[in-house]
Amino acid sequence: MTENISKNHKSKTVPFILVITLMVLSFVAGTSFSTYNFVSSANPEIINTKDDIPEYLNKSVDFNLYWDVMDILKNKYIDSDKILDTELFYGSLAGMVASLGDPYSVFLTPQVNKEFTEELSGNFQGIGAEIGLKKGILTIIAPLPGTPAEKAGLQPRDQVLAIDGVSTSGMGLDESVSRIRGEGGTEVVLTILSPDSEESRDVTIVRDVINIVSVSWSKKENNTAYIKLSYFNQDTEQQFRAVAKEVLASNPDQIILDVRNNPGGFLDVAILIASYWIEDDVIVQERFSDGTIDKYQSRGKPIFSDIPTVVLINEGSASASEIVAGALSDYGKAALIGMQSFGKGSVQDLIELSDGSSVKITIAKWLTPKGTTIDKEGLKPDIEVDLTKEDYDEDRDPQLDAAIQFFK
């Protein structure tokens, strides 16, 4: 449940979906960098038409109410002596953004914003898992390779029912991330309910420093180059460029691009990586609330354009992963194998504020080159192949096997 992050003063980035260390998916594949997120759940009134707006919401805003409520809290609350004005202030800002009812639009306090920025650079401490809210339930989107979360056996779609004994029901992503984060060497206990289980279990995870290698590759049978793309980080394009040179030098007959459990990252990086297969054409489209559409073209030389390719996707493939897979699929550059992807199809702008805090706000929906909307739906594979918990426990990978067989 990384996301697409678009960078205004840098470059566009793709849900985000967080790596727990986190990276809240808020999933990546759509954030604009002017910054990131954490969200408290909000249940605003459902308003379908202008005529449905309650009378009190049609009134002019009286900001005296804000100060009245603050005075009530400071004078009447039983533990008023422990209240900090700054906590009330930041809480009110978070509530204002949360009132949009959009899990990817959030207010980040200075500390959370600092941690989020560190995560995007690939340096953080935590358990190394992407989390998001699916139908209001805190859910593991993707454990990152080689991290404490993966070693503890966390899987995509695992529901996190409690953190250190505290129920996550009604808990926002920001609070969830805050509770799961922590210094390396410390423990956090997650109460997990897996999709194939009727009973929850407690999983104790020792936090660690998370250093992500975004790209790796190896040679498989039938002269197949297997490229594992784990995240779309700031340094991912540089890593991918180096790997691409090695892959091309090996003269492969076909390529498997694995974006399973890849929660996303920077949009610019997704565009650059898709450009290794697509030349002089649209990689992704952004549709804004006024109906206008921005189109982002491929860049560079498509050195993999003529090499048969399969893209592996699953429930943990989100945001930037879906942008790359969707583009290659639309142009017939790759077949999709695996399970339906997560469905994170919105773009966020990360706007940094003067005190070090930030607002991450949804500014657009993204579409594939042919205009397909992915948000909430995901990409359907051309060949559906599941990977069960039993497969995982027995170190089997029927999805990868199907991709290799595809070329025979």
The residues, any chain, with a CB within 8 Å of residue 151's CB and separated by 6 or more, are none
Identify the H or E element spanning 244.
helix 236-249
Reference 5, options 310, 349, 379; nearest CA is 349
Question: Which one of 319, 329, 346, 358 is the catalytic residue?
Answer: 319
Cα 208-167-211 angle, rounded to 5 deg: 15
Question: Which one of 12, 344, 360, 365 is the catalytic residue?
Answer: 344
Question: Which one of 176, 330, 333, 349 is the catalytic residue?
Answer: 330
Our answer to whether residue 319 is catalytic in this structure is: yes
Residue pair 237/324 in contact (Cβ under 8 Å)? The answer is: no
End-to-end CA separation in angstroms for the chain:
34
Please give the Cα distance from 135 to 137 (Å, whole number): 6
Give 171-208 as a 3 state SS string. CCHHHHHHHHCCCCCCEEEEEEECCCCCCCEEEEEECE
Residue 145 is encoded by which pair of tokens? 């390779």
The residues, any chain, with a CB within 8 Å of residue 116's CB and separated by 6 or more, are 18, 23, 24, 35, 36, 37, 38, 108, 358
Helix then strand then coil, in percent of the chain rounded to 5, is: 25, 30, 45
Our answer to whether residue 344 is catalytic in this structure is: yes
Our answer to whether residue 330 is catalytic in this structure is: yes
Q: Which residue numbers are catalytic?
A: 319, 330, 344
